[in-house]
């Protein structure tokens, strides 16, 4: 409408009339409106572009609220959720029985899943619309049990469903491509039928599925078998002791004749009947165990906590590699543990006087963990970094605190002798500080038996938690 030009007030009878004359100024006002709209649009577009760009530059963390993603006020990135091939209306909740196991994103973006907070972290974002498809499936435990109840052996089920638990399970990237439990507290407890004298379960824990194991129960065929370790130690004893004429009484680092080997195995796995300690743990007996220099010993009683008959029938007899090693990264120690070096590199001196024949393999049921088992068990956000470290530096970078095989209360013996130029009596030990070290084998260390379950074992219930462990048929 035009603007007011002239105003005239008239009075006609009892009525008052206002007359206004207008000049048409609509063209001028239209120009002003158009210019104003243009400025507003320009400012709005500028703000939108800035906000979009800032969202990408300032943060790649996309937090979920009640199943919905916070898009930072724009739709530059969006998510689609799937259970298998089925598209879901929203992200599954943490207690839904489903777990995240993989993702696919456009524009080169990637997803790192935070299982504790149940949210994704998006990396490698580029400017532009990005779509991420997140795939969820049944938890490993539920898939594992369902598989076992379908009459498949535990190894087969492990290999089929390991990808459903990338937080707790990982490939060790060795030539054998073993699957291992990792992290500070994975759900890997298992009840193999071991019972104490009161009938209460003695739990073990699953180290993982190891490939190319020589199974002597199956004519020496190489097979994939589940490797387990007792959840707690059976006590602290010498790896080996010796008389004062052999290595000064500080023990001999040859597993095929070691005192600890004889303590935890059947009598048919060693040639000479020892004076003390032979098969006490295996047979659930009481007696004396070696625990110091020059064959010193102490009382030991396994009548309550020894291996029960219901349990020892579950173990396969296999060929163990007993090659000697030097401290290194886990993957390098894995190779030397399976190598040709023995624990006798020395040629003389007070701690190099034994005359025991050396071997690099041993046939039997129970041993101890390898140093590499400890190294590969590290998990969490430090795993990649820690796997580049030598095991004697695992006290740095939070390696040991993210490793479920670490025990802050005691030092633990391992299976592997040290290849040492001054002694033929040292073996590797995990200290209570979390580092891999070596000690004379006569010293005291926790004994945690390790073995392989027979190949026909099936896991049919439980979820691996300490109060609801996996159980086997």
Nearest CA to 293 out of 357, 344, 247 is that of 247
Tokens of 302: 């396994």
Instruction: Report the pLDDT value the prediction gives residue 255, as an integer from 0 to 100.
Output: 98
Judge whether residue 366 has pLDDT over 50.
yes
What pLDDT, on the 0 to 100 scale, is given for residue 274? 87
pLDDT at 117: 86
Cα distance between residue 49 and residue 55, in whole Å: 10
Tally of CB atoms within 10 A around 210: 22
Cα within 13 Å of Cα(251), Cβ side = 30
Helix count and strand count (H, E) for the chain:
9, 27
Residues 279/280/285/287 CA torsion (nearest 10 deg): 130
φ and ψ at residue 37, rounded to 5 degrees: -60, -40
How do residues 101-115 score in pLDDT, each as one tens digit? 788 888 888 888 887
**Range with the largest mean pLDDT of 44-48, 107-111, 216-220:** 216-220
State the Cα–Cα distance between residues 10 and 341, nearest whole angstrom.
122
- What's the CA gap between 111 and 130, in Å, rounded? 12
Q: Which of 25-29, 99-103, 232-236 has the lowest mean pLDDT?
A: 25-29
> Is 126 a residue whose pLDDT tops 50?
yes
Q: How far apart are CA 144 and CA 131, in angstroms?
A: 31
- Compute how many other C-beta atoms are within 10 angstroms of the C-beta atom of residue 216: 15
Whole-Å CA distances, 471 to 4, 138, 161, 205, 466:
94, 19, 17, 11, 12
pLDDT bucket at 27, cuts 50 / 70 / 90:
low
CA distance to 9, 86, 162, per residue, from 17 (Å)? 6, 75, 91
Q: Are strands 450-452 and 221-230 parallel, antiparallel or unpaired?
A: antiparallel
Give the pLDDT score at 38.
64
Q: Strand pairing partners for 65?
A: 68
pLDDT mean over 43-63: 49
Q: To 5 degrees, how large is the angle CA 404–CA 407–CA 408?
A: 125
Q: How many CA atoms lie within 13 A of 384 on its CB side?
A: 1
Highest mean pLDDT among 32-36, 48-52, 423-427: 423-427
What pLDDT score was predicted for residue 464? 94
Q: 80: which strand partners?
A: 133
Q: Which residues of 113-143 are buried (b: 16+ CB within 10 A; e: fewer)?
A: beeeeebbebeebeeeebebebbbbbbbbbb
**Confidence band of 43 (pLDDT split at 50, 70, 90):** low
3-state percent breakdown (helix, strand, coil) of the chain, nearest 5: 25, 30, 45
First to last CA, the chain: 91
Burial class (CB in 10 A: 0-12, 13-18, 19+), 348: exposed
What is the chain's mean pLDDT, rounded?
87
What pLDDT score does 136 carry? 87
With a cut of 60, say whether residue 324 has pLDDT above it.
yes
Q: How far apart are CA 247 and CA 241, in angstroms?
A: 9
Three-class SS state of 321: strand
| Mean pLDDT of the 65-73 span | 43
Is the model more confident about 347 or about 228? 228
Q: Which pTM value belongs to this model?
A: 0.78
Q: What is the pLDDT of residue 16?
A: 47
Percentage of the chain beyond pLDDT 90 is 67
Mean pLDDT of the 250-270 span: 96
Q: Give the integer Cα–Cα distance in Å for 427 and 252.
A: 9
Which whole number is the average pLDDT over 369-384? 97
Q: In what order do the strands lie in the sheet with 236-238?
A: 236-238, 444-446, 412-417, 426-430, 436-440
pLDDT digits (tens, 9 = 90+) for 421-463: 999 999 999 999 999 999 999 999 999 999 999 999 999 999 9
Q: Rounded distance, CA 105 to CA 130, Å?
A: 7
Under the banding of pLDDT at 50, 70 and 90, the label for residue 13 is very low
Q: Quick one: pLDDT band at residue 125, thresholds 50, 70, 90?
A: confident
> According to the model, what pLDDT value does residue 10 have?
40
> What are the sequence ranges of the domains in the chain?
3-57, 59-138, 227-452
Residue 191 dihedral angles phi and psi, to the nearest 5°: -105, 110
User: Looking at the DSSP assignment, which residues form a beta bridge with residue 104?
Assistant: 133
Residue with tokens 């291996």: 307
What is the predicted pLDDT for the residue at 379? Answer: 96
The residue with tokens 């790896």 is 239
State both tokens at 36.
């104003």
C-alpha distance from residue 84 to each of 69, 98, 103, 118, 135 (Å): 21, 10, 12, 19, 7
Give the CA distances from residue 470 to residues 97, 194, 201, 230, 461, in Å, rounded to whole numbers and listed in that order: 17, 13, 12, 14, 6
Reported as a pLDDT band with limits 50, 70 and 90, residue 187 is: very high
Whether residue 469 contacts residue 460, with contact meaning beta carbons closer than 8 Å, is answered with: no
> For residue 61, is pLDDT > 80?
no
Structure tokens that stand for 360 in this block: 């690099």
Determine how β-strand 86-88 pairs with β-strand 77-83.
Answer: antiparallel
pLDDT at res. 127: 64
Residue 381 φ/ψ, nearest 5 degrees:
-70, -10
pLDDT digits (tens, 9 = 90+) for 273-323: 888 999 999 999 999 999 999 999 999 999 999 999 999 999 999 999 999
Q: What is the dihedral of CA 394, 407, 412, 291, to 10 degrees?
A: 140
């Amino acid at each position: 409408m035009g603007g007011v030009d002239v105003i005239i007030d008239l009075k006609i009878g009892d009525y008052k009339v206002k007359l206004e004359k207008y000049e048409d100024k609509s063209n001028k006002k239209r120009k002003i409106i158009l210019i104003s709209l243009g400025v507003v649009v320009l400012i709005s577009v500028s703000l939108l572009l800035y906000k979009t760009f800032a969202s990408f530059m300032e943060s790649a963390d996309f937090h979920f609220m009640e199943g919905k993603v916070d898009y930072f006020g724009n739709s530059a990135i969006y998510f689609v959720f799937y259970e298998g091939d089925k598209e879901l209306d929203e992200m599954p909740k943490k207690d839904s029985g489903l777990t995240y196991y993989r993702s696919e994103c456009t524009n080169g973006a990637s997803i790192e899943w935070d299982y504790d907070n149940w949210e994704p972290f998006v990396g490698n974002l580029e400017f532009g619309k990005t779509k991420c498809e997140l795939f969820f499936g049944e938890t490993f435990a539920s898939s594992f049990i369902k598989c076992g109840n379908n009459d498949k052996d535990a190894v087969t089920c492990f290999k089929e469903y390991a990808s459903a638990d990338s937080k707790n399970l990982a490939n060790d990237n060795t030539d054998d491509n073993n699957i291992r439990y990792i992290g500070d507290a994975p759900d890997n407890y298992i009840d193999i039928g071991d019972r104490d004298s009161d009938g209460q379960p003695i739990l073990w824990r699953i180290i993982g599925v190891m490939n190319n194991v020589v199974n002597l129960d199956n004519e020496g065929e190489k097979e994939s078998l589940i490797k387990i370790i007792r959840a707690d130690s059976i006590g602290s004893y010498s790896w080996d002791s010796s008389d004062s004429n052999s290595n000064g009484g500080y023990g001999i680092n040859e597993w095929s004749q070691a005192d600890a080997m004889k303590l935890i195995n059947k009598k048919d796995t060693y040639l000479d009947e020892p004076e003390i300690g032979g098969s006490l743990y295996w047979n659930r007996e009481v007696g004396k165990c070696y625990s110091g220099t020059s064959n010193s010993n102490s009382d030991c009683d396994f009548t309550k906590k020894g291996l029960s008959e219901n349990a020892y029938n579950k173990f396969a007899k296999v060929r163990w590699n007993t090659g000697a090693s030097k401290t290194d990264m886990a993957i390098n120690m894995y190779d030397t543990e399976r190598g040709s070096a023995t624990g006798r590199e020395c040629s003389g001196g007070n701690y190099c006087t034994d005359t025991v024949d050396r071997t690099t393999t041993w046939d039997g049921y129970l041993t101890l963990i390898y140093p590499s088992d400890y190294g590969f068990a590290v998990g969490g956000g430090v795993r990649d970094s820690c796997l580049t470290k030598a095991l004697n530096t695992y006290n740095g970078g939070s390696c040991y605190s993210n490793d479920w095989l670490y025990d802050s209360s005691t030092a633990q013996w391992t299976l592997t002798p040290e290849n040492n130029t001054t002694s033929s009596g040292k073996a590797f030990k995990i200290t209570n500080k979390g580092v891999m070290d070596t000690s004379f084998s006569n010293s005291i260390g926790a004994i945690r038996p390790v073995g392989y379950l027979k190949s026909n074992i099936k896991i049919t219930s439980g979820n691996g938690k300490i109060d609801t462990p996996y159980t086997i048929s």
